[in-house]
Amino acid sequence: MRVEVDLTRCAGYGNCVEAAPEVFQMSDVADVADVILPEPGDELAESVHKAARVCPADAVVITE
């Protein structure tokens, strides 16, 4: 799977970081999330999908 954050939508809520800290972290330079692991393994699929569900801005983009 491939994971991206749509920065035109991300509003910096941080829910994705809580759901999948191995994949997302808050940016140092802006109030948005950075993807630190853009191609996570299957063992992280559940938490990445959870991150997408809990993002209020619908900004987590997953490509299978």
Q: Does 48 bind ligand SF4 (CB under 6 A)?
A: no
Query: What is the smallest separation between the CB atom of 42 and ligand SF4, expressed in angstroms?
Result: 21
Q: Does 15 bind ligand SF4 (CB under 6 A)?
A: yes
Q: Which of 8, 15, 2, 3 is nearest to 55 (CA)?
A: 15
Query: Could you give the CA distance from residue 47 to residue 30 in angstroms, rounded to a whole number?
Result: 24
Query: What is the smallest separation between the CB atom of 20 and ligand SF4, expressed in angstroms?
Result: 10
Q: Write phi, then psi, for 61 (nearest 5 degrees).
A: -110, 120
Contacting positions for ligand SF4 (CB under 6 A):
5, 10-16, 32-33, 55, 57, 59-60
